[in-house]
Amino acid sequence: MRRFNVTGLCVPDQDYMVDISNKVSQIMVMVERGDYFTINRARQYGKTTTLWQLDHELVRRGYTVAHISFEGIGDEPFENAKSFCESLLRQITKELKSSGAKDYSAWEKHNVKTFEDLDDFLNTVCEGKKIVLIIDETDKTSNNLVFLRFIGMLRDKYLLRKSGRAFTFQSVILCGVYDIKNLKMKMIKAGTHHLHDGEKRINSPWNIAADFKIDMSFSASEIATMLNEYEKDHKTEMDTEAVSKEIRAYTNGYPYLVSRICKTIDEDLEKDWTVPGVQKAVRVILHEKNFLFDDLGKNLESDEDFYKLLYDIVVNGQSYVYNMTNHAIDWGIMFGILRKQNGHVFIDNLIFETVIYDYFITKKRIKNVNTGMDITRTLPEDVIEDNKLDMALCIDKFARHYYELFCGRDSEFLESECRILFLTYLKPIINGKGFYHVEPETRNRSRMDLVVDFGTEQFIVELKLWYGESAHEKALGQLSAYLDSKGKTEGYLLTFDFRKTENVGKPKMEWVEYNGKKILDVMVGVK
């Protein structure tokens, strides 16, 4: 019986898999062109499974595939050129032999001790052959300079091949989390950056590499191919299109998260293959401890620039233009936390975004408790009855607590903190039975739409800063339109007013009708 697999290689007869044949076909085009390139994606992004399927397609088309890995081989092969060359050829020979390649014995008979020897040897064994070298886990090296010398040699042979003066691999594919251009960053972070005149070797050895532009995330239609296979076996009568779109909406197609949601529904939620079932699975995952979320927390803790970047994006609604020289942006994209779209930088998916919010909320809660400014005074039972959340009462209590705690406080500080304060207040109330996410397309410096799922109900709360009557009228229109898009007739507008005037004081709250929608209009200030 097949299952949803979230650990390691997926194979068709054991696991439910997304059909990635189109992605493999695109990679094959690059191989047949003779491209050298890097597939660098975040952890658990389907790299191993993609390479496994690529191997099969290459063999089917008559290529010889030398697929090796740097994982688990220890430090010794990277101590010097001789150790590296011997280890490399030993791995290639072993792989060719186990895969049944006819001419593997040619790789056993060598006397290679230097990179010059390796250069000559490759001229001999690659002549007239279509050999593809795939090196997985290229970032599992302790001494990157030896490896960089090797790929520098491959670059030189690639250039000579184009002019007909050398024989070498048809294609070389390097695979790992770090791209070659990021190895320098890795060495700096690891404290092993002692390159001196080796800087050029860091910056230039892979400049012949073709850009790898293939999108390895899963589209909704690709996710549906996996669910259709599941449906053939289990006949749940799910709406595969609707469920696939919902999974995509929360994960942005991040392969691990897609499979994690499916596995949770199948094994832990009594096969609830519905849109609410996907939302339940997301809630379960958000309360799990896993390596992706752990890595995210570690990166936030260890890098002050990265912390500030994510805080600006998710809390302050700051828009960042992509800048490849910004190490925090580059770092976030490399680890799959950020994505580049239309020249700007965004959090990759709603699940990561909620994890990031939760991280900042926890930090804020600890700080507020230590300073006597903890706003989480409302107990769940104060606003929840018979498993139903009274959102109007919840916001009313927040507004009163906010006024009591922060009346007369520094308005500039509160303007940058108000939204995280509301989330800090809300999270412990809904924790365990509900969850929230921020709609990325509505988040900016002045506006943020919050979607809160609790039980079978969904609440839309817009958080705004006060910019005058006309802007407030526009906010009501924006919320009304957003409610329309969600099929809702009731919403909540919470406005923070930081004017230092006589008109700003205790919270104001009233239900208003706007474009056929019922909206609770709440305003809080700091006077």
For the stretch 400-417, what's the b/e string if a residue is b when 16 or more beta carbons lie within 10 angstroms of its beta carbon?
bbbbeebeeeebeebbeb
Q: Is residue 309 pLDDT above 90, yes or no? A: yes
Residue 362 lies in a domain: no
In whole angstroms, give the CA distance from residue 395 to residue 421. Answer: 12
Mean pLDDT of 288-309: 91
Q: Please give the residue that has the higher pLDDT: either 455 or 60.
A: 60
- The pLDDT of residue 404 is 84
pLDDT in tens, 335-357: 999 999 999 999 999 999 999 99
Tokens of 527: 């006077």
279: Cβ–Cβ under 8 A, 6 or more apart, which residues?
246, 435, 453
**Cα 39 from Cα 210, distance rounded (Å):** 10
- Does some domain include residue 144? yes
Average pLDDT across the chain, whole number: 88
More confident residue, 227 or 331: 227
Choice among 109-118, 304-313, 378-387, 505-514 with the minimum mean pLDDT: 505-514
Question: What does the pLDDT read at residue 331?
Answer: 87
pLDDT at residue 198 tops 90: no
Give yes or no: residues 303 and 398 share one domain: no
Specify if 480 maps to a domain.
yes
Q: How many residues does the chain have?
A: 527
Residue 101 parent element (H or E): none
Closest CA to 489 of 466, 515, 463, 508: 515
3-state class of 44 per DSSP? coil
- CB neighbour list of residue 503: distance below 8 Å, 6 or more residues apart: none
pLDDT band at 134 (very low <50, low <70, confident <90, very high): very high
464 and 423 housed in the same domain? yes
Residue 278: what pLDDT? 96
In a domain, 14, yes or no: no
CB 218 within 8 A of CB 9: no
Q: What is the pLDDT of residue 408?
A: 65
Asked if residue 267 and residue 307 are part of one domain, the reply reads: no
Last residue of a domain, one of 168, 203, 238: 203
Residue 126's CATH number: 3.40.50
- Would you place residue 192 in the very low, low, confident or very high pLDDT band (cuts 50, 70, 90)? very low
Cα–Cα distance, 308 to 303 (Å, whole number): 9
> Of 148, 168, 203, which residue sits at a domain end?
203
Tell me which residue range forms the domain holding 378.
367-525
pLDDT for residue 450 = 92
Strands 388-389 and 36-40: unpaired
At 101, is the pLDDT very low, low, confident or very high (cuts 50, 70, 90)? confident
Domain end residue (candidates: 347, 375, 392): 347
Q: Given this model, what pLDDT does residue 199 score? A: 43
Q: Are residues 40 and 128 in the same domain?
A: yes
Angle, helices 144-162/183-190, rounded to nearest 10 degrees: 170
In which element (H, E) is residue 513 found? strand 508-514
What is the band of 58 on the pLDDT scale with cuts at 50, 70, 90?
very high
Q: Are 476 and 512 in contact (CB under 8 A)?
A: yes
pLDDT for position 183: 56
Distance CA 231, CA 406 (A): 54
With beta carbons less than 8 A apart as the criterion, state whether 48 and 136 touch: yes
Is residue 500 scored above 80 in pLDDT?
no
Residue 214 lies in a domain: no
Q: What is the mean pLDDT of residues 304-328?
A: 90
Claim to verify: residue 38 and residue 180 sit in the same structural domain: yes
**What distance separates the 2 farthest-apart alpha carbons in the chain?**
90
pLDDT value, residue 406: 77
pLDDT (tens digit per residue) in 390-440: 999 999 999 988 888 877 665 555 677 788 889 999 999 998 788 898 887
Residues 169 and 31 both lie in one domain: yes
- Our count of domains for the chain comes to 4
Say whether pLDDT at 201 is over 70. no
On whether both 318 and 395 belong to a single domain, the answer is no
Instruction: Give the three-class secondary structure for 174.
Output: strand
Residues 290, 259: contact at Cβ < 8 Å? Answer: no
Residue 437 sits at φ, ψ, to 5 deg, of -150, 155
Tokens standing for residue 283: 């809630």
Indicate whether this model's pTM tops 0.85: yes
| Token duo for residue 78 | 């990277």
Task: Map tokens 């339940």 to a residue.
Answer: 280
Cα-atom radius of gyration of the chain, to the nearest Å? 28
Q: For residue 323, what are the CA distances in angstroms to 40, 329, 337, 343, 426? A: 19, 7, 16, 9, 35
Residue 23 has pLDDT above 90, yes or no: yes
Q: Give me the pLDDT at residue 253, please.
A: 98
Are the beta carbons of 143 and 79 closer than 8 angstroms? yes
Q: What are the CA-CA distances from residue 379 to residues 61, 108, 239, 522 (Å)?
A: 64, 71, 38, 21
Does 180 share its domain with 131? yes
Q: Does residue 371 lie within any of the structural domains?
A: yes
pLDDT single digits (tens) 251-294: 999 999 999 999 999 999 999 999 999 999 999 999 888 889 99
Which residues are CB-neighbours of 208 under 8 A, at least 6 positions away? 36, 155, 158, 159
436 assigned to some structural domain = yes
Residue 393 and residue 331 share a domain: no
What integer is the mean pLDDT of 75-97?
92
Q: Give the confidence band of 181 by pLDDT, cuts at 50, 70, 90.
A: low
Q: Does residue 195 carry a pLDDT above 50?
A: no
Q: What is the pLDDT of residue 144?
A: 73
CA distances to 358, 381, 526 from 421, rounded to whole Å, are 12, 20, 14
Residues 6+ apart with CB under 8 A from 456: 276
Q: Give dist(CA 66, CA 96) in Å, integer.
A: 6
Q: What is the mean pLDDT of residues 114-127?
A: 95
Please tell me whether residues 125 and 186 are part of one structural domain.
yes
The confidence score (pLDDT) of residue 182 equals: 58
Distance (Å, whole) CA 10 – CA 30: 23
The answer on 113 and 191 residing in a single domain is yes
The reply to whether 398 falls in a domain is yes
- Taking residue 183's Cβ as centre, other Cβ atoms within 10 Å add up to 22
Q: How high is the pLDDT of residue 504?
A: 53
Same domain, 282 and 299: no
Sign of CA dihedral 195, 201, 202, 203: positive
Residue with tokens 């609830």: 272
